[in-house]
Amino acid sequence: MILLTRLNGKPFRLNAIYMEQIESFPDTTITLTNGKKFVVKESEAEVAERIKKFYQEIHIMHAAASAEVKEDE
Q: What pLDDT is attached to residue 73?
A: 47
Q: What is the pLDDT of residue 62?
A: 60
Query: Which long-range contacts (C-beta less than 8 Å, at least 24 apart) are formed by 11-20?
Result: 14/38, 16/50, 16/51, 16/54, 16/55, 19/51
**Average pLDDT, stretch 44-69?**
78
| Residue 57 pLDDT > 80 | yes
Over residues 16-40, the mean pLDDT reads 95
User: Percent of the chain, pLDDT > 90?
Assistant: 73
DSSP state string for 10-58: -EEEE-GGGEEEEEESSSEEEEETTS-EEEESS-HHHHHHHHHHHHHHT
pLDDT for residue 69 is more than 50: no
Q: Where are the chain's structural domains?
A: 1-40
